[in-house]
Structure 1
Amino acid sequence: MILIRKISYIAGLLAIAFLSNFCANVVAPSGGPKDVTPPEILEMDPDNKSTNFTNDKFEITFNEYVQLKDVNQSLLISPPLKEKPEIKMRSKTVIVTLSKEDTLRDNTTYIFNFGNSIVDLNEGNELEDFIYVVSTGENIDSLRIEGSVMNAFDNKAIEEGLVMLYRNATDSTPMLRKPDYLARIIDGSFVITNLTEGEYSIFCLVDENRNMLFDLPTEKVAFLDSLIIPRAISKLVTDTIEVFDSTSADSVTYDSIIQYRSTKFFPKALDLFLFEEEFHKQFLSVKERPEKWRLFFQFSEPVDTLFQLELTEEKSKQDWYIEEFSINRDSISIWINDSILYNKDSLEVILSFPETDTTNTLVLSKDTIVFTISKNMDNKKVSQPNIKIDTLTIENNINTPFHTYKNIHITASHPILKVDTSRIKLFTIQDSIESEIKYNLIYDSLNQRKLELSFEIQPDTKYKLITDSTAFTDIYGFSSDSSASIFTSQTKDFYSSIIVHPDTTEKQLIIQLLNTKESVLHEHVILPGDSCKFENISPGSYMIKAIFDENSNGKWDTGKYIEKKQAEKVYYYPQSIETKSGWDNKIDLKF
């Protein structure tokens, strides 16, 4: 009886186990290392690097299921085809079928560069830089050129773009037809392989609309002035290597002579400098009334004397506003000084301004604009901060320690009408004794809200600036409050200097001192053979940049492809310059 019970018990457990296995979902075993292996190619039909290719398709079979990631954007075919091929999956096979519109050229090597678009299905491991090559002739073309592409303005590597080769090209060819060969820029470098013999024009394009044509004024380009003739020199090289013989009882080493074939490709690595041509499309981007007494206009490009504003009802009215241009002259604040006008809920004006039309021609446009006062105007987000009209606030750049080479900059919240210098006093403080000193007040001719207070500042000296109430009065009749600022000037031995000696050149140079973010702090324009000195430099890290000012206009100029004009070359001193207080740093620029 006991034996029967045991048998029944065991049979029940087996049944439960069977049912559990039958009903449960199949899952992969957990644990173990993550799969990081890319897909492996088992077969290609026709084989990679096949010759006499006449098919209209090819197939690539892998050891696992794969998927195509952005393959239409990643696949680059050189020479390019008229139409994109059809790419589809069948089981573990990628099938590429050429369009019926395309007829492959005779005796031509074609490169199908898939980039990193083929990945495995489960983990997304990429088959990196996979290239399939076939030739319609007897041989696989083997010539190549390579090089780097840098931004012409700062010599930084270009991350993406196309480098293209043309045979029998004219200046307008990159604008009219696709290239004969091309390759991608990857991390600033390019390699164009499987070229046939011949002369080529080389052109680089950041192709914004993906049509392989230079047909947008904002597309960046690079080119070389001379033709490229790729060639290769192959020779047999004899060399000696050291061989370790472990089969010998004494484990000896001996020299062995080997021979191998070495191939060098020419020309050597090319340097291309990418630039965006100067294209000024002028348009009005912002027109608003952020405060009732101020109109604001933002343009895409700097504006000149063509900017005019008049009232629709009182066209003859003069001097009803004050203009305030930004530093770049691409934005304008209009301060209305007539209380009857700025208190109107609705103000209609006629604006005349330069604008680029549909033919890319700069023309004078006129627009009638109605500006209204919004009930929630004080809370509205605008291009410039809101400024309350019922007060006049005054700000300055005073801090401690104050640089000995600077003036005191004063900025008012509204245009200043009058300054009472008798209510502005400047003192030195020594041993608690205040001594009044003289200063000059310098008015900003372009901005009525700004002025400078200039004085002979001494190092390591304590100062006090007092502005009594009503020292400043604005165009609305409001006056400033009283204020006092106490500050100490910087010590004499705090600063350093940088003396730059460039190599002798035939052209004028612009030498710039940059911070680590490459913002220009100071610059000197020097003639061939001259040096320059940057003074009053605070301790820190700096960079030196030189611009070869080909046209001697004192600024960097971009290129113009159709005129075969390259962007002006720039040079960076290869090391960061570390300055310390009291040091004179001497830098030799060797171009």
Structure 2
Amino acid sequence: MRKYIFFGIALWILAGCAAQAPPGGGPEDKTPPELISVEPSWESTQVPANQSITLTFSENLSPASVRTSFMLFPLNKTETRMKIRRNRVRVIPVDHWEDSTVYTLVFNRSIQDLRGNHLEEGIFYTFTTGEEIPEGEISGQVPNFGKKDRILIGLATGEWRPDSLFNHLSYLTETDHEGFYRFQAVPTGLYTLSGIVDHDQSKSYSPGFDDLVLPESLLVAMKDSAKHRIDLAVVRGNFIPMKYISGKNLYPSVTELKFTKVPSSQTMKSAFVINDFPVDTFQILGKDIRLYHRMITDSLYRFHINLLSDTLGVSAGPFSDTLAVQTFTDTLGRVRWQDNCLVLEPPVDLDTLMVTAFSSGDTSRRKMHALLPGHFEPDDSWKGKDFNGRLAVTVPLPEAYPTILKWTDTVTVRYIAESDSGRFICRVPDMPDKQVGFILTGKNGRYKKVITTPGTCIFENVFAGEYSLWYYPDRNHNNRQDHGWLWPYKAPEIARPLVEEIQIRARWDTEMDLHFEDE
């Protein structure tokens, strides 16, 4: 006999009840309470409209813990009151149970006896005022959940937007430690399925805090004993448009802007205008954008952004601000080494820079190419081996910074050569979709490839380390993974794990045959 409606739920409501002091006298009792009987019996049908549900336990219970642990499904359908006397709990409808309705009473493990012992397992009791208990089932997995995520999956009767579903819930469950969820005994009808990562522990969607969990199929039509497999994906960062926080002029040719969200990597430099002129280039640094532009000779200047999108494609803008110019007045330019790059401050507009490298038994002239203004990367002559030593840097004095009298420095450098990478070659004899994207991810990097036909997929220049391989169906053939959209609803292209613990070695080809499980 089935005694539960949901799978993989351990805590419905945070159990914050204070344990009551145990009665004095006698040996300490550590035996947890057990459910002895329930009336009407499990999965009873045609339950009378005014029938109370009585649960009898093996020990006297803490009334506060019983009330805290209780939840009734469908939610917001019938108001109930509760009578608790010693080891007996009665759930009574305030008015009456609805006709032809399937109910499930849930008591989680926070129920305690008078000595603070908890239930070993939650209680899921299903009954109906109709003629039968339905066999309908909806189950699936959230493959990209985080180990610390508390993911709630909601089911609402009717058609709703994903971000408003938690205001109209009929059923609610929580994923287990592997990201699986299940709804059972779901009556026939049309439902909306969606979820949240409940960061603020409110059991409702808080746009400023929570991430949405979007399903492959938003609407579910339940018929008779249908069983649906529907996976969902966590969409990180929510759908609130980004906001401009502040801007600062770092140097007369460099401006840094701060936003509330990470801008899209698809952003074009034409989006940014300084004093009616487009910028030369820009750099995205997390939630900041660094603009490189022509020299500002006035004390004030204005920037304008007509439209900007975040990583989810949510548009925001326009943004404008007036900033004060920070004039460089130091007599010395500064040099530092960062992320395999030589950085000059203030930035100078040079195409190449010659430096002298000093290491054990080696002194040589090396060339570096401009990656961005003031950022120089080693040329191809560096890329054969690592370098640990010092660089002597002499920068030609630029006319743009007449206050600089000397720009010579020596910096300690640890250069990691690109030869410390390998190739990952995977053979794909068959594909679950017409176009499939692969994501190779690990602590040392994240690499992406899309293939359109079965064959060989090669990841070049992968830094050595341990990786896992994921795949997703690129159903709209745009060569990237789409995270979905709210309304009109667009289903996410869900990435699923394919291979764990792939060890990539430097200067080595790692080969593997890939096989997809049937979904």
**CA distance, structure 1, for counterparts of residue 240 and residue 206 of structure 2:** 21
2:180 aligned to which of 166, 175, 189: 189
For each residue in 1:465-500, what CA deviation from the matched residue of structure 2 results, as whole angstroms up to 9, or x when unmatched?
A: 7534445659434343232668798798x7643211
Q: CA 1:392 to 1:119, structure 2 compared with 1: closer, same or farther past 3 Å?
A: farther
**CA distance, structure 1, for counterparts of residue 255 and residue 508 of structure 2:** 50
Map of 2:97 onto structure 1: 104
Map of 1:9 onto structure 2: none
Contact persistence 2:76–2:170 (CA under 8 A) = no
Figure out how many residues of one structure are paired with residues of the other and give that number: 472
Map of 2:11 onto structure 1: none
Q: Does 1:560 align with 2:485?
A: yes
2:76 aligned to which of 72, 75, 81: 81
Give unpaired runs (5+ residues) of structure 1. Answer: 1-25, 232-265, 311-315, 342-346, 374-386, 399-407
Q: Does 1:394 align with 2:335?
A: yes
The structure with higher relative contact order (CA 8 Å, sep 6+) is 2
Map of 1:411 onto structure 2: 343
Map of 2:513 onto structure 1: 588
Contact persistence 2:196–2:205 (CA under 8 A) = no
1:298 aligned to which of 243, 258, 263: 258
For each residue in 1:223-281, what CA deviation from the matched residue of structure 2 results, as whole angstroms up to 9, or x when unmatched?
A: 537644343xxxxxxxxxxxxxxxxxxxxxxxxxxxxxxxxxx63x7242235498351
**CA distance, structure 2, for counterparts of residue 488 and residue 173 of structure 1:** 48
Map of 1:123 onto structure 2: 116
Q: Does 1:274 align with 2:233?
A: yes
Map of 1:424 onto structure 2: 355
Q: Does 1:540 align with 2:494?
A: no
The aligned runs of 1:143-292 (5 Å cut-off) are 143-151=135-143, 159-164=150-155, 166=157, 169=158, 178=168, 183-187=173-177, 188-196=179-187, 198=188, 200-201=190-191, 203-206=193-196, 210=203, 219-224=212-217, 227-231=221-225, 267=227, 270-276=229-235, 279=239, 281-287=241-247
1:64 aligned to which of 53, 60, 67: 60
Contact persistence 1:147–1:191 (CA under 8 A) = yes
Once superposed, what is the RMSD of the aligned Cα atoms? 5.0
Kindly state the Cα deviation for residue 294 of structure 1 after the two structures are TM-superposed. 7.5
What letter corresponds to residue 477 of structure 2 in structure 1? S
Kindly state the Cα deviation for residue 288 of structure 1 after the two structures are TM-superposed. 5.7
Kindly state the Cα deviation for residue 557 of structure 1 after the two structures are TM-superposed. 0.3
Partner SS state of residue 493, structure 2: coil
Contact persistence 1:543–1:576 (CA under 8 A) = yes
Q: Which moved more, 1:322-331 or 1:536-545?
A: 322-331
Give unpaired runs (5+ residues) of structure 2. Answer: 1-21
Partner SS state of residue 456, structure 1: helix
1:507 aligned to which of 434, 447, 465: 434
Kindly state the Cα deviation for residue 38 of structure 1 after the two structures are TM-superposed. 2.2
Q: Which moved more, 1:38-47 or 1:332-341?
A: 332-341
What letter corresponds to residue 424 of structure 1 in structure 2? V
**CA distance, structure 2, for counterparts of residue 583 and residue 97 of structure 1:** 69
Map of 2:33 onto structure 1: 39
Identity of counterpart residues, as a percentage?
15
**CA distance, structure 2, for counterparts of residue 491 and residue 289 of structure 1:** 34
Kindly state the Cα deviation for residue 106 of structure 1 after the two structures are TM-superposed. 1.4
Contact persistence 1:392–1:474 (CA under 8 A) = no
1:498 aligned to which of 421, 424, 432: 424
Q: CA 1:194 to 1:563, structure 2 compared with 1: closer, same or farther past 3 Å?
A: same
Partner SS state of residue 120, structure 1: coil
Kindly state the Cα deviation for residue 392 of structure 1 after the two structures are TM-superposed. 2.3
**CA distance, structure 1, for counterparts of residue 183 and residue 224 of structure 2:** 10
**CA distance, structure 2, for counterparts of residue 213 and residue 199 of structure 1:** 28
Partner SS state of residue 408, structure 2: coil
**CA distance, structure 1, for counterparts of residue 391 and residue 62 of structure 2:** 76
Partner SS state of residue 416, structure 1: coil
**CA distance, structure 2, for counterparts of residue 65 and residue 293 of structure 1:** 71
**CA distance, structure 2, for counterparts of residue 322 and residue 459 of structure 1:** 32
What letter corresponds to residue 416 of structure 1 in structure 2? V
Q: CA 1:36 to 1:171, structure 2 compared with 1: closer, same or farther past 3 Å?
A: same
Partner SS state of residue 575, structure 1: strand
**CA distance, structure 2, for counterparts of residue 61 and residue 329 of structure 1:** 56
Q: CA 1:66 to 1:299, structure 2 compared with 1: closer, same or farther past 3 Å?
A: same
Q: Does 1:326 align with 2:284?
A: yes
What letter corresponds to residue 32 of structure 2 in structure 1? P
* TM-score, normalising length: structure 1: 0.63
The aligned runs of 1:432-511 (5 Å cut-off) are 432=361, 439=367, 441-444=368-371, 447-457=372-382, 459=384, 466-471=391-396, 473=398, 475-477=400-402, 478=404, 479-483=406-410, 496-505=422-431, 507-511=434-438
Map of 1:28 onto structure 2: 24
For each residue in 1:377-430, what CA deviation from the matched residue of structure 2 results, as whole angstroms up to 9, or x when unmatched?
A: xxxxxxxxxx995542222359xxxxxxxxx62212322145884x6346898x
Partner SS state of residue 510, structure 2: strand
Contact persistence 1:56–1:97 (CA under 8 A) = yes
Q: CA 1:389 to 1:526, structure 2 compared with 1: closer, same or farther past 3 Å?
A: farther
Q: CA 1:195 to 1:281, structure 2 compared with 1: closer, same or farther past 3 Å?
A: closer
**CA distance, structure 1, for counterparts of residue 318 and residue 421 of structure 2:** 51
Q: CA 1:306 to 1:333, structure 2 compared with 1: closer, same or farther past 3 Å?
A: closer
For each residue in 1:535-562, what CA deviation from the matched residue of structure 2 results, as whole angstroms up to 9, or x when unmatched?
A: 4555532222333322333321022365
* TM-score, normalising length: structure 2: 0.70
What letter corresponds to residue 480 of structure 2 in structure 1? K
Q: CA 1:298 to 1:453, structure 2 compared with 1: closer, same or farther past 3 Å?
A: same
For each residue in 1:174-223, what CA deviation from the matched residue of structure 2 results, as whole angstroms up to 9, or x when unmatched?
A: 95884665544444333433445x45546233286756999x99643325
Contact persistence 1:416–1:474 (CA under 8 A) = no
Q: CA 1:118 to 1:531, structure 2 compared with 1: closer, same or farther past 3 Å?
A: same
**CA distance, structure 2, for counterparts of residue 217 and residue 124 of structure 1:** 33
Name the larger-Rg structure.
1
Partner SS state of residue 482, structure 1: strand
What letter corresponds to residue 137 of structure 2 in structure 1? I
**CA distance, structure 2, for counterparts of residue 158 and residue 461 of structure 1:** 40
Q: CA 1:204 to 1:550, structure 2 compared with 1: closer, same or farther past 3 Å?
A: same
Q: CA 1:529 to 1:143, structure 2 compared with 1: closer, same or farther past 3 Å?
A: closer
**CA distance, structure 2, for counterparts of residue 88 and residue 292 of structure 1:** 74
Partner SS state of residue 381, structure 2: coil
Q: CA 1:567 to 1:465, structure 2 compared with 1: closer, same or farther past 3 Å?
A: same
Contact persistence 1:144–1:230 (CA under 8 A) = yes
What letter corresponds to residue 270 of structure 1 in structure 2? R
Kindly state the Cα deviation for residue 530 of structure 1 after the two structures are TM-superposed. 4.0
For each residue in 1:85-133, what CA deviation from the matched residue of structure 2 results, as whole angstroms up to 9, or x when unmatched?
A: 3446455544544344xx5321323111122242223324235311233
What letter corresponds to residue 97 of structure 2 in structure 1? L
What letter corresponds to residue 111 of structure 1 in structure 2? T
Map of 2:48 onto structure 1: 53
For each residue in 1:129-186, what CA deviation from the matched residue of structure 2 results, as whole angstroms up to 9, or x when unmatched?
A: 112333324x4515242522214x57989753134264xx557699588466554444
